[in-house]
Amino acid sequence: MNPKQSSEDYPQPDAAEKLDSEQLSGRNEQFPVVGIGASAGGLDAFRQLLSHLPTDTGMAFVLIQHLAPNQKSLLREILARETAMPVVEVQDGMVVEPNCVYVIPPNTKMAIAQGLLRLTPRERNRGVSMPVDAFFLSLAADRGSKAIAIVLSGGDGDGARGLEAVKGAGGITFAQCEDSAEVSSMPNTAVATGQVDFILPPQEIAEELAKISRNPYVTHPNPARAVAALSEDETALQAIFGLLRTATGVDFTFYKETTLKRRILRRMVLYKLESLDSYVTYLREHPAEVQALYEDVLINVTSFFRDPAAFEALISKVFPAIVQDKAPEVPIRIWVAGCSTGEEAYSIAICLLEFLENQPIKPPIQIYATDISEMAIERARAGVYQQSMVADVSPERLHRFFVPIEGGYQIGKSIRELCVFAKQNLCSDPPFSRLDLISCRNVLIYLGAALQKKILPIFHYGLKPTGFLMLGTSETTGEASDLFALVDKKQKIYARKLASARLTLDLVTSNYPSAIASSDSRIKDSASNDFDLQKQADRIVLDRYAPVGVIINSDLEIVHFRGQTSLYLEPAPGRASLNLLKMAKEGLKIELRTAIHQAKKGEVPVRKDGLQIREGDRVRQVSVDAIPLPTGNLEEGYFLVLFEEVSSAIMPQSTEAREIETQSTSDKQEIDRLEQELTTTKEYLRSIIEEQEATNQDLKAANEEILSSNEELQSSNEELETAKDEFLSIVSHELRNPLNAMLGWTRLLRKRNMDATKMTQALEAIERSAMAQNQLIEDLLDISRITSGKLRLKPRPLRLTSVIEAAIDVVQVSADAKQIQIERSLQPLAEAIARDSDRLQQVIWNLLTNAIKFTPIGGRVNVTLAALGAQAQITVSDTGQGISADFLPYVFDRFRQADGSPTRSNSGLGLGLSIVRQLVELHGGTIEVESPGVGQGATFTVWLPLRANLEETAPSSSSETLTSTDEGEISVSNNKN
C-alpha cells in the first residue's frame, strides 16, 4: 500500500488571508467539493451535467478545463445559463461555498488548500499543462473522503493521476462513458487506472451525485465522527474482517481501524447503504464486493520520484556508504516493501544507475519490490505508465530510461530487468536478507502498533550490518529505536544498529483454528488475552520439560537460545563467536556437524544417539536432534538443534572398582569410541563428495542457462537489425526521390533538344531536388548531434524581429507558389538578446515551411512576436489541415508522421518538429501547439526567456503532454518533412 499525495506542493494561503482556524476547520468538515475536469468536447458535457444537477446538493463544484492561455474565457457566462446555482470565475484566495460553481480562469493553475482556491501562473513546459491533475491532487490532500473527482470529455490523459489520488484519499470518482464523450481519451485514460467508481454519461453522473449527497455519511459534518460511529457495531466489523480473511487470506484485524473504516464507509456510500449490518449482508450476497473492498483498502497512489528531496538524500548519504569498500562482484541488494505499481522501485533503480556512472566500481544491482496487491504487482511488472504518470520525470530521464508507446511510456528493458516484483504480506511472509537498503515509505502508517512492532525487527534482520532503512516522512521506528540510528531526520533515513536482536521464529503455534467472526463484541480483546495466557503456559511447559537447544542459520551461527544450554555449549577462548561448532563441548562437534549436514541435504530431521561428554571423571550420554525449520521463501535456511541427556551421569568410580576393572574392557571402550568417530568421519566425507557432485550439476545447469541467454541476446540482436533495416529503408527511400528527379532531368538535358524555357525548368527542378536532399541530410545530422549532445550553439546579440523576417524571406517563394498570404505582427523588443541566430532562424523556417506545406492554396499564415513579462512569445498559425487529437502526444516525436503510409502525399523523415523542439529547449525555451481540430488549422507558440543569457539557461524539465483550447484539442501539421 502506498500513500496519499503530499499537499506540500500546493500553494498555502498567506498569513493575512487565513481565516479563523476554527471557522476554517468547520468549513472543511461541512460539505464535499466536486472537481470536474475536461478538455476537448468538455463544454457540452459541462452543460449536460450542470443542467441536471439539483441546486441544493450541499456540494461545491469546481470546473477545470483546458483554456487558451491568451484568450478571454466565456465559460462562466455560458454555464450560468444552465443552472440556478451561482457560477463564478475563480479569483485567488476565494473561499469555497456549497451549492456554488467555480470556473478556472485562463492561463492559470488552480489548487485548493484549507478551503481556499489558490491560483498560480500556468506552467509552460514543452506544451504540457495538466490543470486537472494539479487540482485533483490538491483536492485529495485538502478534502480527503469529502473529495469527488469527475473526468469528462477530452483528448489527453489529464486527470487520471489526480483521480487516483482522490480515491486513495477515500473520495469518490467518476468518468464519462465512451459512447457519450465527444473525445474519449481523457475519460478512457482515467478508466484504465482501475480507480473509477462510476462510468456514466453526464446526465447520469448528475443523478448519482444527487443520490450521494443524501447519504448520511456524506452529509455528516464531521468525517472523523462518522468513522467513529462504526466502532459501535463491533460485531459487524469483525464479520467484515472475517469475510476479507476468508476471501483473500489477509487478516486486517490489526491494521489501522480508522483507515479501514473510511474505506468501508466509502463502499457503503457507493451502494447507498446506511448501516454496517446492511453492508455485511451485501458482502455476503455479492462475493465480488469482498474483493472490491479488499482492493479499495489496498489503493495504490504513488508517483515517480515522489518527494525529490528523499532521492537526493539517497544519492548524497546512502549510496556512497553502500558502495564504499564493496567488491565489484558483490551486488547491491535493495528491497522496496509496499512497492505499489512500481514507480518507487524504478525511481530508485534510475537514481542508483545515475550515481554509479561516476563511480570507479559498478557492482550488480538486485532490487526486490513487493506488495500485497496482486493487481499492483502485475502493473509494476509491465512497467507501462500513462503520460500523466510520468509528468514528474525530467526529459533527460524520460528519453534515457523510458520507451514511448501508444498512450504513454514503458520503463526500458534494462531497468525492468534490475527489478524483481513479487506479491508479499509483510506481516506473515518471510523477508529478504543481506540487504543494503530497505525502502518502506508510507506503509507503516496504515498498520497498527502491534504490526509495526513485528515488522521493524524483520527489517533489522534483513539488513546487512551497514544497511539503511528509509521510511515515509510521517513514520518513525518508534519502539524499535534500539535497532536503528537516525541518519536524516527530515527524510526519515535510518542506519542499522549493531544490536543483538535477531529474527525470532515463533515455534509455538496454536492448535485451534482462528475464528472467522464472533457475535461477542468483546471478541478481539478476549482473544488477545486468551492468546497471551496460552503463550505463557506454553512457555512454562517448554522451559520445564522440553529439551534445550538453539536455532542456527545455514552458516551454523546461533540466532536464538532456547533454555539453559550451558551443559552442552560454552564460549570458546579468543574472539567472541556464536558459531555452534566453536561453542560445542568436546565430544559433540563431529556428530553435530554430520547431523546438521545430513538434515540440510535431506531436508529431514536427523538424530544422533550415544554421544558422550566427559567432564573429569563424569561421563554424560547425550542425544542430538537437527531439525530443518520451514521458512517459506526465505533465502537463508534455519535449523533447530536440540540437546537431551538420555541417561543419568555415570558416578565416579572408586579406587577399588577401577583396579578391579580389567584392561581389556577399557581397551574395548576406546576401540568402540574410535570406530564410532571413524564411521562418522566417513559419512561426513561421503556427504561432502555428494555435495560436490551436486554443485557440479548446478554449474552445468547454470551453463545451459547462459547458453539460453545467449540465444535470447542473439534474437534481440536480430530484432535490432530488423529495426535498423527498416530505418535504412525509410532513409534510402526519401533520399532516392530527389536523386531520381535529378537523374531524370539530367538525362533530358543530355539530349540537347530543349528550348530555353524547358532548360530553365530542368535546372530549377534539379536545384530543388538537390536542396531537398541536402535538407534531409542536414536533419539527420542535426538529430544525431542533438541526441549525442554534440550540438553547440553560437550565441551572439540579435534582434528577434530580424531573425523572423529573414526566415519569412526564405519561405516567401514557396508561399507565393500556393498563393498563401503570410501576415506578420512583430513587436520590436526593448533590447537585443544573446542567442544563436542561425538555429533560431532554423526554428522559424521549419515552422513556416510546415505551415505552408499543410495549408491549402489560397490559405493564410500568421506570424506574431510579443514580449509577455520576462518571455518573448512567437506564434506561427495557419488555416491548414490540422491533425487528429489521437496524434497530439506524438507531434514532436522523431520519425512520427500523422500519415505514415507509403503513399502519403507529403514526403519526409518526420524529424522537423522534433528538431524544432530540441533547438527551442537548448535556448532555454518551450514550445506548445494548439488547434480546434482536424481541418481547422494549427498554432505553434514558442516561448523564449528575455532576461537570461543563453549560457545561463537550461533546457526545460517538463514532460511531453500537450494542451488544448476550450474549443477543442490541439492540432498540428506533423513536420516540415
Cα-Cα end-to-end distance for the chain? 48
**If we measure between CA atoms, which residue out of 509, 460, 502 comes closest to residue 485?**
460
Q: Among 387, 123, 162, which Cα is nearest to 959's?
A: 387
Indicate the Cα dihedral angle 132, 133, 136, 137, nearest 10°.
-150
Q: How do strand 419-423 and strand 365-371 relate by DSSP bridges?
A: parallel
Question: For the residues of 821-843, what is the DSSP string, one character each?
Answer: EEEEEEPPPSS-EEE-HHHHHHH
C-beta contacts of 559-567 below 8 A and 24+ residues apart: 559/502, 559/503, 559/638, 560/502, 560/504, 560/505, 565/643, 567/613, 567/620, 567/643, 567/645
DSSP 876-898: EEESS----GGGGGGTTSTT--S
Q: Using CA atoms, how far apart are residues 501 and 498, in angstroms rounded to an integer? A: 9
List residues bridging with 102 in a β-sheet: 62, 88
CA distance 507 to 649: 30
- Order of strands, edge to edge, in the sheet holding 172-176? 87-89, 101-103, 60-65, 33-38, 147-151, 172-176, 198-200
Catalytic residue (one of 39, 340, 958, 973): 39
Tracing cell 549436514 back to the chain, one arrives at 597
Any catalytic annotation for residue 52? Answer: no
Cβ atoms 974, 957 nearer than 8 A: no
The residue whose grid cell reads 459512447 is: 179
Q: Is 394 a catalytic residue?
A: no
Q: Could you say which of 133, 142, 158, 625 is catalytic?
A: 158
Cα separation values, 300 from 169, 173, 442, Å: 10, 15, 11
Q: What is the distance between the alpha carbons of residues 399 and 405, in angstroms, rounded to a whole number?
A: 12
Strands 87-89 and 101-103, how do they pair?
parallel
CB 107 within 8 A of CB 100: no
Which among 126, 106, 107, 135 is positioned nearest to 37, based on CA atoms? 135
Catalytic (active site) residue 399:
no
Question: Using CA atoms, how far apart are residues 850 and 853, in angstroms rounded to an integer?
Answer: 5
- Exposure pattern of 678-714 as b/e (b: 16+ CB <10 Å)? eebeeebeebeeeeeeeeeeeeeeeeeeeeeeeeeee
Region of residue 27 (phi > 0: left; psi between -120 and 50: alpha; otherwise: beta): alpha
- Is the CB of residue 509 less than 8 Å from the CB of residue 503? no
Contact 46, 947 (CB under 8 A): no
Residues 6+ apart with CB under 8 A from 76: 87, 88, 89, 103
Structure-block grid coordinates of residue 132: 486537472
The CA-CA-CA angle for residues 431, 312, 945, to 5°, reads: 145
52, 66, 460, 597: the active-site residue: 66
Q: Hey, what's the cell of 213?
A: 449527497
- Rounded CA-CA distance 731/896 in Å is 13
Q: Which residue has the cell 509528468?
A: 391
Catalytic positions: 39, 66, 158
